[in-house]
A = this chain, B = another copy of it.
Amino acid sequence: MGVTGSKAEHRISKILDAALEVFSHKGYRDSAVDDIATTSQTSKGGVYFHFPSKQAIFLALLDRMADLLLSRASKSMAAEPDWPKKGDAALATMLHTFADHRNLTRLFLVEALGAGREFNQKILEMHITFTALIKDYLDTGVVDGYIAPLETRIASIAWFGAVNEVVTRWVLDEEPGNLEDAYNPLRELLRRGIGL
């Protein structure tokens, strides 16, 4: 074992990788815990030793993606000094991260929604987290005088939705193009939408 991760953590990571593989390939409901066990080269008992339920595995996966996105976006925003460029950086980072993890993205944006009523709360939380980040950003822009006052609550939801849909279309497409090609037109649209 390297510096990071005990044996258990390593195993958990392997199971999560397998779960991602299986879930993103067959969807949440059509995936059996046995599939995950087989793919992760362990057994059902082994999986259940580390996770209390199938649901918990899925939730862990969602958390993983949210953390990844959030930390990357925050970092790239922090690296930019002036306000408008922070937004550009976040958008670019998001698209880049999604493009790099199509499976995780599919899970995050597609499977999660219909996986079951149990997940609605979680998904809502995630959407709220992201839109809150955007809203903070927009509010700062207003306070600092970069943009005129506007309904930042709706605007942040709309921004999130716009990006969301572009990415979702790319995920659902059987022969997806290059997601990052959407960066420029999307950026333009979003900026103008808030009067930048």
Instruction: Say whether A172 contacts B124, CB under 8 Å.
Output: yes
Which stretch from A3-11, A33-41, A70-78, A158-166 is at the chain B interface? A158-166
Query: Is A46's beta carbon under 8 Å from chain B?
Result: no
| List of B residues within 8 angstroms of A113 by Cβ | 110-111, 113-114
Query: Is A129's beta carbon under 8 Å from chain B?
Result: no
Instruction: Say whether B169 contacts A127, CB under 8 Å.
Output: yes
Instruction: Say whether A189 contacts B185, CB under 8 Å.
Output: no
Instruction: Say whether A158 contacts B117, CB under 8 Å.
Output: no
Chain A interface residue count: which class?
A: 35 or more
Which stretch from A21-29, A47-55, A59-67, A82-90 is at the chain B interface? A21-29
Name the residue on B nearest A193 (C-beta): B193
* Chain A 158-196 per-residue mask, 1 if CB under 8 angstroms from chain B, else 0: 111111111011001100000000101110111011110
Instruction: Say whether B195 contacts A182, CB under 8 Å.
Output: no
Bound-state CA distance A148–B14 (Å) is: 51
Bound-state CA distance A123–B30 (Å) is: 18
Instruction: Say whether B154 contacts A161, CB under 8 Å.
Output: no
Q: In the complex this chain forms, how many copies of it are found?
A: 2
**A22 vs chain B, min Cβ distance (A):** 13
**A138 vs chain B, min Cβ distance (A):** 11
Bound-state CA distance A50–B164 (Å) is: 37
Query: Is A155's beta carbon under 8 Å from chain B?
Result: yes
| List of B residues within 8 angstroms of A169 by Cβ | 124, 127, 131, 157
The 10 A-B residue pairs whose C-beta atoms are closest, nearest first, are: A114-B114, A161-B165, A151-B185, A193-B193, A158-B162, A154-B185, A113-B113, A161-B161, A113-B114, A161-B162
Question: Interface on A for B, CB 8 Å cutoff?
Answer: 26-30, 110-117, 120, 123-124, 127, 131, 150-151, 154-155, 157-166, 168-169, 172-173, 182, 184-186, 188-190, 192-195
Q: List 13 A-B contacts (CB under 8 A).
A: A30-B116, A110-B114, A113-B113, A114-B114, A124-B172, A124-B173, A131-B169, A150-B188, A151-B185, A161-B163, A161-B165, A161-B168, A189-B194
